[in-house]
Structure 1
Amino acid sequence: MDSAELTLLLTSEGLTLLDSLPEYSAAHAVQQVAALRKAGHSPELVAAVLTQSRLRAKARSKFGAFADRLLYTQAALEQATRLKVAALHAGRYRDAGVSRVADLGCGIGADALALAALDIPVVGVERDEVTAALATYNLASFPNAEVVLGDAERFDLAGVDAVYLDPARRTSGTANTTRLTRPEDYSPSVDFAFGLAERMPTGVKLGPGFDRSLIPAAAEAQWVSVDGQVVEMGLWFGSLARGGIRRSALVVSDTGIAELSAAEDSTDAEVRALGDYVYEPDGAVIRARLIGALAGTLGAGMLSRDIAYLTGDELVETPFASAFRVRERLPASETQLKKALRERRIGTLEIKKRGTDVDPAALRTRLGLKGPESATLILTRVGGAHEALLVDRVTTG
């Protein structure tokens, strides 16, 4: 989106037209364009509202029904914090008792929205003109929120007693951006963010794969997964960090929110013999290096050293791992495995792997599966040796 499209969109005609559109469907996009052009709308306005309609449909995975109240750019939506997670971020600021927050690099304003909704005054700073205008629109219903067009690293923090930063990890622009791999290229820079953290309460959102060696010792590092996908690592400083916690895994799902935390990385559990159950820790637990802490709650041990699978003899329900009941150990060689699966009439097979160089999709094709039965196959190492475990995913309710 450019400034011309934005000007067309932010008119009474543009916003009314956008809100009148049916739910976006790629299959019907051509017909929608034709119908809107026939109704007398300009090609530029049609393109602008259909782009927003498409982005709103995509945004529902992050914002739910609230998605239809916001405006987006493609790039800003990709980095925007999910509404559930933004609400948890805002809760930290509320609990810390801060009076005004600067959201430096606010994007379309997702985190600023959550802060304002908790009656925390917030000023969002955004250097991209189009994105800043959309953030202003998105925050318009909150009198305690404002957006400033400017450079986050040069913003005057007078009157602000806490900051939040979600550094841009993609090249500048509103679409067709590319991912930045070096933290020094982020905007605002990581060094700038960590410098602020030395003098005031600061929250920094980073990618889950951020280099752990760069995490400051004073930070509380929290990895967050939503519906099984690790979406971010948050670093919290000053009064936003909790006492005695330096590592945590936050798991958000339809069934609720659960957290596993510790004062430091946990030591892996001892390797033990294969039990009746195998546990696959949530990605946030793995990233936080809390597999050993999880093993303690499950009465489980490592399936093999340095492999993120646990095993135990009892089924223990946990939000921090998926559980699988072991049916049997199958031959690891592909020829014997193919024969064994055919004998068991398994036609539908979920393939999971750790510690082995296998392409599950290619293997599934080569196995030539046939039959009415279904199962899960775990290809991994057990006590250091490659094995194939035929298991059933345990569902709890």
Structure 2
Amino acid sequence: MSPRGRALLAELPAYDDTAALAMGERLRRQGFEPALVAAAMTQARLRARAVAKLGPDAERLLLTADGLEQATRREVAERRAARLAAGGARRVADLGCGIGADSLAFARAGLQVLAVERDPVTAAVARANAAAAGLAHLVDVVEGDATQVGLDGCDAAYLDPARRGQGRRRYDPQQWSPPWEFVRRVAGQTPRTVAKVAPGIEHALVPAGAEAEWVSVDGDVVEAAVWFGPLAGAWPRTATLLPSGASVSGPATSPPPAREPGAFLYEPDGAVIRAGLVAEAAQEVEGWLLDPTIAYVSADRHLPTRLMTAYVVHESAPFSLRRVAAMLRARGAGDVVVKKRGTAVVPESFRAQVLKSLPERGRGPSVTVVLTRVLGAHTALVVERL
């Protein structure tokens, strides 16, 4: 953060892992202190990693390894900030702000932000990042314990409890920092509260009247959020898919009876599965499950949906290596993509075994095989993505 440090950062070329050692040696020969060179090279490496998560902000923010790992993706943070603003929030307390990624999104949405961070270095980083983004007038970074800071003047609160301690993931919500009970207390005091939680959160933890939302980006489930008070939607569970913005909500109804595959197979997005809304997604395509315990949907006709990936089902048969190899040879396959759900088969090992039996290996088309259960029976389906 010193002028000399900032000047060094500005001079660094795009980070290249293979050239990092030589670059560090060159900078030290130019007279830069070894500790400063190490810090600058660390920033360059973290910024290169941060581009996918933080977008254009990555090249101007200061980062820490833990802060980057815990930071919210920019598109998710901006969507959350917009929802808070639309819900009537004007000043939000970011309790445990980390490097400030969410605080910046709140400020860009026009909200005043009280950003609280316990770690002095991370708080300094958050303060520097607000200044670098030109948002220091909207973001007040306070060094302190989030559980002890008064929320007077704040009409909204955001919490992202730390779920790691001493290098290990903490699965017990009461061991999060701050613990889940504190989140509940904040929601009781400040009705417009939203908490970012792990996608694996147990549905039973979500209190009555709140909404749990699972969010995926490009098919990867990145987080869940619990919306309290007036921020909560009409239904207790929601799955949201970005960047399309497609969503489905509901009370998690019972799926239609499972039966044999139809002409099409649908693979629900991970957010839909985590939210327990596969039945709602199946209704959208007039579909059914292949097995009561497996999140694959089938249908007799193709109806477009952004909640699931659609495949044509070419054939299916009881699962065995011999049968699958025969189906692939009949199609002149040169390669195979193995997808599986509800079976102990290891896709990489199975693919290697199948490839040995293909005469057109490396020359024919790639064919997709889905290994799953149909009405309890292990089954292989040859499919083609639409």
Which range, TM-score by smaller chain? over 0.9
Counterpart residue number, 1:257: 245
Show the counterpart of 1:391: 383
Query: What does the per-residue CA deviation read over 1:200-222, in whole Å, with 9 as the maximum and x for residues that have no partner?
Result: 22100000001221111121110
What is aligned with 2:287? 300
Q: CA separation in 2, counterparts of 1:239 and 1:145?
A: 24
Q: Structure 2 residue aligned with 1:378, among 361, 370, 373?
A: 370
**Aligned-residue CA RMSD in angstroms?**
1.5
Query: Matched residues in 2 for 1:184 and 1:365: separation?
Result: 44
Distance 2:310 2:10 in 1: 44
Unaligned runs of 5+ in 2: none
Structure 2 residue identity aligned to 1:380: T
The percent of aligned pairs where both chains have the same amino acid is 44
Bigger shift: residues 14-23 or 298-307: 14-23
Structure 1 residue runs of 5 or longer lacking an equivalent are 1-9
Query: How many residue pairs get matched?
Result: 377
Partner of 1:101: 92
Q: Aligned to 1:198, what secondary structure does the other structure show?
A: helix
Inter-partner Cα distance in structure 2 for 1:228 and 1:84: 14
Determine whether 1:205 maps to 2:196. yes
- Partner of 1:346, secondary structure, is coil
SS in 1 for 2:189: coil
The one-letter amino acid of 1:122's match is V
In 1, Cα distance between equivalents of 2:267 and 2:368: 13
Superposed, which structure 2 residues align to 1:344-355 within 5 Å?
344-355=331-342
The answer as to 2:218 corresponding to 1:227 is yes
Matches within 5 A, 1:304-383: 304-369=291-356, 370=361, 371-383=363-375
Once residues 138 and 199 of structure 1 are traced to their aligned partners in structure 2, the CA distance between those partners, rounded to angstroms, is: 29
Q: Which residue of 2 aligns with 1:3?
A: none
Q: CA deviation at 1:330?
A: 4.1
What residue is the counterpart of 1:145 in the other structure?
Answer: 139
Alpha-carbon distance in structure 2 between the residues aligned to 1:213 and 1:383: 28
Residue type of the alignment partner of 1:274: P
Aligned counterpart, 2:165: 171
Superposed CA offset, 1:87-134 (max 9, x none): 111112211222211100011111111111112100110111111111
2:151 paired residue number: 157
In structure 1, distance between residues paired with 2:216 and 2:17: 29
User: Could you tell me how far apart the structure 2 residues matched to 1:279 and 1:197 are?
Assistant: 38
Q: What is the TM-score with the length of structure 1 in the denominator?
A: 0.91
AA matched with 1:376: T
Contact 2:318 2:377 in 1 (8 A): no
Task: Give, in whole Å, the separation in 1 of the partners of 2:287 and 2:49.
Answer: 40
In structure 1, C-alpha distance between the alignment counterparts of 2:253 and 2:73, rounded to whole Å: 28
Residue 213 of structure 2 contacts residue 238 of structure 2 at CA under 8 Å; is this kept in 1? yes
1:173-216 C-alpha deviation (Å, 9 max, x unpaired): xxxx4322221111111110011112322100000001221111
2:335–2:355 CA contact under 8 A, matched in 1 = no
2:318–2:378 Cα contact (<8 Å) kept: no
* CA distance in 1 between partners of 2:323 and 2:91 (Å): 65
Report how far residue 15 of structure 1 moved.
1.6
Supply the AA of the counterpart residue of 2:242.
Answer: V
SS at match of 1:386: strand
**SS of residue matched to 2:335:** strand
Compared CA separation, residues 222 and 334, structure 1 to 2 (3 A): same
